[in-house]
Structure 1
Amino acid sequence: MIGLLTILLTACGDRLTATNLPTSETSNLPVVQGRISEVAPPALIQELRPSLERYAPQVTILSPLAEEVFDDTQVIVKLQVSDLPIFQDDTLKLGSHLSLIVDNEPAAAIYDLKQPIILENLAPGTHTLRVFALRPWQESFKNDGAFAETTFHILTKTGKNAPDHNLPLLTYSSPQGIYGAEPILLDFYLSNAPLRLSNTANGDNNLQDWRIRVTVNGESFLLDTWEPIYLKGFAKGNNWVQLEFIDGQGNKVENEFNTSVRVISFDPSYQDGLSQLVRGDLSPTIARSIVDPNYQTIPSLEEETPFIEPETSIVEEENPVVEETPVIELESPIVEENPVIEPESPVIEPESPIVEENPVIEPESPIVEEKPVETETVEKLEETPEAIESPLTTIPETKEINEPAPGIQPPLEVEPIPEPQNNSEQKITIFDRVQQTVNRFQSPSSPAEKDIELPTLDPQLFSNVERS
């Protein structure tokens, strides 16, 4: 049975009673006098503590069973907890958990009961497993049912590590491990401890006047209440802490595990979640996530507000992108580049003089004059139509050039259109000149020449020229 102990409402400093009763276990350890003192709990822990007062955890060891004997050095542990959420905050790595102790070894923290718990390389003989519930800052729950223990055996039974359930049992809880801030919690769990009665009631029973003797680095003091305290004055580096259960006469109550000692380390630069919590580096909003596993959604809503602000700035950045429409205005002068077609119209004008080069046929007519033989002239005259074919080839080219000009339709300057009329006039002059050349060789005085039939020019050739 776990006895309920009275809590004395005294000042923090009054609870530490100095004692000069060293034990044989601590007589060879260094002693530091006057450095350790009790202080109030950290403010943030005092603010969070009421959130867990509504819980009364019930811890059960499902395996191993009491007095069970195993034929192997490996044991699988199964635990069950009710009325307390067991979890670990992802950021601070803190949360309500279980403390598991095998014999009197340092405790192991259990944050997930779904994960297998395996004890390996256990020595043959008797072993005792103790499990109890802790708050996130390593303070134990002290309600009835928050502590469970069982004794089992590996291969065989021995008398060691088997506490007497008829005697009070002291279980060391804190401090242990590494700490980065002061004050440091001192906490323990008591089993089978009798109620503290008045001095007149059953005064002969020394166990009713029990105390806990605490020794830190050789400096000892007594506690007569079962409640956690916070201490400061630890030295940097390693420190040692010892707890002893003693009776009203100052004698140790002999039972397994009633004397426990731990070595801890104090490093002010250590930055774990507990150190931040003790120093007050955390806001209450963030710290509340270690007492309520469902409270993680509230900080996420607060974190969303800064994300809305940059989104507005992003919309403002998009406005200058809309103002880039002037780029379209820059493209409009590109459409005005159509006047580039206008310089092409004068290109057609220099081509018209190319048609005027038709007078090149004129040097051919003197060639006929140089030859007095009439037969040869006839041959030359017959060849003249071939020479006349040259304007047939050139004149259509000029017309093909003039045809695209109306399609472009520049300003109404269509002066090159009358050029074909000039060409037609040039064709008539050419006919007249040829006719004049033929007439030169006609002589009425010679009768022989009258019998000669001169070839006549086919006017259709010239009409074809006009049609083209």
Structure 2
Amino acid sequence: MLAAPRRALVALVLVVLTLVSGGCGSKTAPDASAASPSNLNATAPSGALQEVAPPGAVQQLNERLNDRAPQVRVLAPQDNALLPAGPWTLKLQVSDWPLSDASPLGLGPHLVVQLDDQAPIRITSSDAAAAVAMPDLRPGSHRVTVYAARPWGEAVKAPGASTQIRVHRVARNAAELPASGSAQLIASSPEAPQAMEPVLIDWLLLDAPLQNLRGDDARWRLRISVNGDSFLVDRQTPLWLKGFKRGSNAVQLELLDGRGDPLNPPFNSVVREVVIGSGSQPAWLRPTLSPTDLALLAGEAQAPEPPAPPAAVAEPEPEPEPMAAEPEPQPEPEPEPSANGLAEPEPAASEPAEAPQTEASPVPPAAEPAPATAETTTETTTEAINEPSPEPEPEEVKEQPVSPEPSLPPSAAPSATPAPERIAPQTSLSGSARDQVNADGSLQQPTPRGPLAGLREKLGG
């Protein structure tokens, strides 16, 4: 009866001992693994940061560009060249990479020239790549890195898509350069101005040791810190992140070795500023692209150039003609005053001057004399000659319209108050004009000559 309770008590003791021993073993295992350098594994973003998929436009463009294999070469200057003072020219050659500028959509596939830690120079045409104007170099040694980039700034990681040369001015300074063959970190993104999220985090590693061939070959890690939140990356894969605050954000990239220490300092630590809410939204952040925009951003079509304003055509200046002696201006003859005191208008040069016409006032026809004998005619003629004509009364004289007359000689110049003018008679009568006008204003008619008029003149009678 007592054997059964003893067996139960022994079994209970064994179970307790088994649980205690298992718990102690699980506590000591993490401590041993933490001391191993291979525990430096990649971690996901923490805090407010969140990794998201690339925008739809980026995925469309990647499908067009993934089949490309760009090859970049530096033609001049040579590696380790000693350059003179002043500006210099970098000559590049690229193949299987369509350089283009898809403005106003943004940049297409392009080249990036990175001189030390200065701002990158972006090349969007083959002509520009053939001769890149570079700034002055300070004395010492410098690194020039050239790589092919996608429209949104991501560096192409394919073999031959990037290259680097080292140049010097005055003298080489080995302390300013990383050791040959050592790992180098080139931050290709992010750019300072960003319109909105997500933000691209991308980099280029040169001469980095190979890893991920086995599960415990951690040779390097990249630590990314955004506003104090850090995580680790062990592959060269671009990241698209959300969780940035509006305004200025601090982004730091650090290359570490397998133990978590800085690798090849101070060359492999980069700090960038990202400003959210500034600049315009690039086309590659759209959810999708039209076929036309896709062809432009992929470098398969050229953006139409804006029409140039019409240039002002310079008219040829006329040849100066030989100076001819200008004729001296001749004084114009002053018009002589007419009888009525007004200057007569000169006739036009092209038309002959016409004599002024006198409009005679209507004169009643004189009664024809009755036929007479020779003696009667002679006596009438003699009496008409010897008998003076009566002067007409001034009040009975009808004022006639004045017609222009030729200028008078100086002796016949009109007085200050000229008398009323009468029409010049068209008759063979002699004497003054007053004697040739009848009392009623009509012209006197000449007396017809008789057959004996000539005989009387000869005889003096």
Q: TM-score range by the shorter chain?
A: 0.5 to 0.7
Give the one of 254, 273, 277 matched to 2:264: 254
Give the one of 295, 299, 303 matched to 1:292: 299
Question: Counterparts of 1:182 and 1:15 in 2: how far apart (Å)?
Answer: 23
Alpha-carbon deviation of 1:104? 2.4
Alpha-carbon deviation of 1:186? 0.9
Give the one of 245, 255, 277 matched to 1:267: 277
1:400-411 maps to which residues of 2 (within 5 A)?
none
- What SS is found at the alignment partner of 2:211? coil
Which AA in structure 2 matches 1:287?
Answer: L
- What SS is found at the alignment partner of 1:189? strand
The equivalent residue for 1:394 is: none
> Is residue 2:142 matched to residue 1:95?
no
Which AA in structure 2 matches 1:70?
Answer: L
Give the one of 54, 60, 65 matched to 1:52: 65
Question: Counterparts of 2:185 and 2:198 in 1: how far apart (Å)?
Answer: 23
The equivalent residue for 1:74 is: 87
Which AA in structure 2 matches 1:75?
Answer: W
- What SS is found at the alignment partner of 1:55? coil
1:369-380 maps to which residues of 2 (within 5 A)?
none
Gaps of 5+ in 1: 1-13, 19-32, 301-359, 369-374, 380-468
Which AA in structure 2 matches 1:34?
Answer: G
Give the one of 50, 53, 69 matched to 1:37: 50
**Deviations for 1:81-130, whole angstroms, at most 9, x for unmatched residues?**
11112121243231111111111233221223423323323211111111
Question: Counterparts of 2:44 and 2:150 in 1: how far apart (Å)?
Answer: 27
Which AA in structure 2 matches 1:91?
Answer: P
1:206–1:232: structure 2 CA closer, same or farther, 3 Å change rule? closer
Alpha-carbon deviation of 1:229? 1.3
**Deviations for 1:433-463, whole angstroms, at most 9, x for unmatched residues?**
xxxxxxxxxxxxxxxxxxxxxxxxxxxxxxx
1:296-307 maps to which residues of 2 (within 5 A)?
none
1:271-282 maps to which residues of 2 (within 5 A)?
271=280, 274=282, 276-280=283-287
Q: Number of matched residues? A: 285
The equivalent residue for 1:17 is: 44
Alpha-carbon deviation of 1:284? 4.2
The equivalent residue for 1:169 is: 184
Question: Counterparts of 1:131 and 1:162 in 2: how far apart (Å)?
Answer: 17
The equivalent residue for 2:197 is: 182
> Is residue 2:233 matched to residue 1:226?
no
The equivalent residue for 2:173 is: 158
Question: Counterparts of 1:192 and 1:242 in 2: how far apart (Å)?
Answer: 21
Which AA in structure 2 matches 1:55?
Answer: R
Which AA in structure 2 matches 1:122?
Answer: L
Which AA in structure 2 matches 1:187?
Answer: D
The equivalent residue for 1:197 is: 212
C-alpha contact (below 8 Å) 1:171/1:257 kept by paired residues: no
Which AA in structure 1 matches 2:200?
Answer: L
1:367-446 maps to which residues of 2 (within 5 A)?
none
Alpha-carbon deviation of 1:278? 0.5
**Deviations for 1:271-330, whole angstroms, at most 9, x for unmatched residues?**
25x2x3304485343233111343658xx9xxxxxxxxxxxxxxxxxxxxxxxxxxxxxx
- What SS is found at the alignment partner of 1:48? helix
Question: Counterparts of 1:227 and 1:138 in 2: how far apart (Å)?
Answer: 14
> Is residue 2:247 matched to residue 1:237?
yes
C-alpha contact (below 8 Å) 1:44/1:284 kept by paired residues: no
C-alpha contact (below 8 Å) 1:245/1:258 kept by paired residues: yes
Question: Counterparts of 2:97 and 2:116 in 1: how far apart (Å)?
Answer: 25
Alpha-carbon deviation of 1:219? 1.4
Alpha-carbon deviation of 1:226? 1.0
Question: Counterparts of 1:199 and 1:293 in 2: how far apart (Å)?
Answer: 41
List, as ranges, runs of 4+ consecutive aligned residues in structure 1 with deviation greater than 4 Å: none
- What SS is found at the alignment partner of 1:160? helix
Gaps of 5+ in 2: 1-40, 307-363, 371-375, 381-461
The equivalent residue for 2:146 is: 131
Question: Counterparts of 2:293 and 2:94 in 1: how far apart (Å)?
Answer: 26
C-alpha contact (below 8 Å) 1:60/1:81 kept by paired residues: yes
Which AA in structure 2 matches 1:264?
Answer: V
1:324-335 maps to which residues of 2 (within 5 A)?
none
Alpha-carbon deviation of 1:56? 0.6
- What SS is found at the alignment partner of 1:72? coil
**Deviations for 1:131-166, whole angstroms, at most 9, x for unmatched residues?**
100011111111100010011111011123312233
Identity of matched residues, %: 33
Alpha-carbon deviation of 1:61? 1.3
Question: TM-score of the superposition, structure 1-length normalised?
Answer: 0.53
1:282–1:257: structure 2 CA closer, same or farther, 3 Å change rule? same
C-alpha contact (below 8 Å) 2:103/2:303 kept by paired residues: no
Which AA in structure 1 matches 2:132?
Answer: I
